[in-house]
Structure 1
C-alpha cells in the first residue's frame, strides 16, 4: 500500500449539469475543458444524468473547480470523503421493514 504522502490526497467534487446528458457526453465535456490544462482528467466516480462526483488530485483541486465551472457544468461541493457528498446530494431511500 502506498503512503498518502507519496500518492497525494484525493478530493471529491460534486457537480451539476445545466441539462441532462449521458456519461459519454460528460466525458467529452470534461475532456475538452481539461485538454488545455496541464493536469490529468478527473475520474468519474458517480453520475446519474444531472449530478455527479469526480475524483481529483488534492494539489489540483482549485484548478479543477475553475475548469469545471463553465456553461455546461457547475460545481456544488468539494470534500475529502465520498460519504459527505453522498449524504448531501445522493440520499439513499430509507429501508422499511
Structure 2
C-alpha cells in the first residue's frame, strides 16, 4: 500500500451527465484540464452518472469544467473512497472477477 504522503489524497466525485455520455465523452469534456492535472481520471460513466477522480485542491476546477460541458450537471456526492460511492450508488459497482 502506498503512503498517502507520497501519493497524495484523492477525491472521487459523482456527477449527473446525459444518459448518452460515455466515459470517453466525459474524458474529452475534461481534456483541457488533463495537462495541468495529471491525476485527473474518469473512473466510469454510464446510466447518467460519471465518477471522476481528482486531487482535493482540483475539485472546484473539475466541477466548473463539468458544468461548462454539460449544462445542468451537478455533483451528487464527493468521497475519498470508491467504496463509499458504490455503497451510496450500487448501480456504479463493477462486477468482480471470481477468484479461483
Fold in common (TM above 0.5): yes
Gaps of 5+ in 1: 93-97
User: Number of aligned pairs?
Assistant: 90
Write out aligned runs for 1:1-97 (5 A): 2-32=2-32, 34=33, 38-40=36-38, 42-70=40-68, 72=70, 73-91=73-91
Greater relative contact order: 1 or 2 (C-alpha under 8 angstroms, separation 6 or more)?
1
Gaps of 5+ in 2: 94-100
Q: Judging changes above 3 Å, is the alpha-carbon distance between structure 1 residues 18 and 74 closer, same or farther for their aligned structure 2 residues?
A: farther
- The aligned residue for residue 95 of structure 1 is none
Q: What is the distance in 1 between the residues matched to 2:61 and 2:69?
A: 16
Q: What is the distance in 1 between the residues matched to 2:39 and 2:67?
A: 15
Q: Taking structure 2 as the reference length, what is the TM-score of the superposition?
A: 0.68
Q: What is the distance in 2 between the residues matched to 1:43 and 1:52?
A: 11
Does the CA-based 8 Å contact 2:19-2:46 persist in structure 1? no
**What is the aligned-residue RMSD (CA, Å)?**
2.5
SS in 2 for 1:18: coil
Higher strand share: 1
Q: Taking structure 1 as the reference length, what is the TM-score of the superposition?
A: 0.70
